[in-house]
Amino acid sequence: MMQQLRHSCKFSHSAESAANVPRQIFSGIQPTGIPHIGNYLGAIKHWVELSSKQSGVVFSIVDLHSITLPQDPHQLRCNTLDMLACLLACGLNPDQCILFQQSSVLQHTELSWILGCLCSLPKLEHLPQWKEKSEKYKEVGVGLFTYPVLQSADILLYRATDVPVGEDQTKHIELARHLAKLFNNKYGWFFPQPRMLPGPVAKIRSLRKPEMKMSKSDLDTKSQINLTDSPDVIRLKVKKAVTDFTGSITFDPASRPGVSNLIEIHAAMADLSPEEICEQNLHTDTAGYKMIVADILIEKLTPIRTEIEKLQANKDYLLEVLEKGCSKAYELAENNMAEVRRLVGFR
């Protein structure tokens, strides 16, 4: 027993260099229905690229986060499998990364409790998502208030150094860094300081309200293009996209957000720059350009839609992928949590 205590004290006073920590990427996505092109271009496409270049990348379908707001249990299970099908159809290879369902790895909630005991109330009260969401409901659960701590646990559990997320998650990454520092100062250095890994694509905006981000919660179904939309639906939504009364195709997000959003979508889908898109369409008017954007979306999304439908029909395969991913994630998570428990003094 005394030897264990001496070892614990020795570790806590030895500041292991963060430079020795290997690069580790982690990110998560909520199972809130079929992703739209904003999810695809802003996150999923980037995940596919990252996992093809580096081994051991960890991606999670974060269903624990979903229940911060009311969920139908059956629908949540369906949404989880649908999200998995979408990720696989977009090109994420479960043999090249760790892809799993968050709730199946209980160490996420264990570490969340430990970090929650380090986190102050004012730190959570100032987060923008809490202010925004709590104003919409008469009563909100504690989970909605504390879920950023769980998000920090998601990241730190795998000792992630890089987190590919959008700019709207800046404050949450700052919280993860803050909690990592608090833990290290109190118990001894263990968690590296995670940093945001910006994606190659700016956030995609609503087709109907281009001043706002494309969102699943938007009640106007024409505001977003989903990965499973048919060609006819895609053409209709793009045709109805809000632009302006200037006929030429120019990229100016500040004064021409609608047209610029279509250019951003086109550029991301075709792997071109907005400037190249504008140059290609010097003599195209807005109405004609909308059909060009619709065509490129149909070309890129049709194979994905077909693969999603194929995977949705093979539930056994999807469950097998989740089981294998859970096994890989559990091993990594448990190795790290064993050390966390020792540092905290549990074992």
pLDDT in tens, 31-83: 998 999 999 999 999 999 999 999 889 999 999 999 998 899 999 999 999 99
Residue 139 phi/psi, 5-degree rounding, is -130, 140
| pLDDT tens figures, 205-251 | 999 999 999 998 899 999 999 999 999 999 999 999 999 999 999 99
For each of the domains in the chain, give its residue range(s) and CATH number, in order of start.
2-202+315-344 (3.40.50.620), 221-311 (1.10.240.10)
DSSP for 260-300 reads HHHHHHHHHHHT--HHHHHHHTTT--HHHHHHHHHHHHHHH
d(CA 295, CA 231): 8
DSSP for 194-260 reads -EE---SSPPPBPSS-TTSB--TT-S-GGG--BTT--HHHHHHHHHT----S--S----TTT-HHHH
Put simply, whether the predicted model's pTM sits higher than 0.85 gets the answer yes
What are the beta bridge partners of residue 99?
Answer: 59
Residues marked as catalytic: 133, 213, 216
Q: Is 332 helix (H, G, I), strand (E, B) or coil?
A: helix
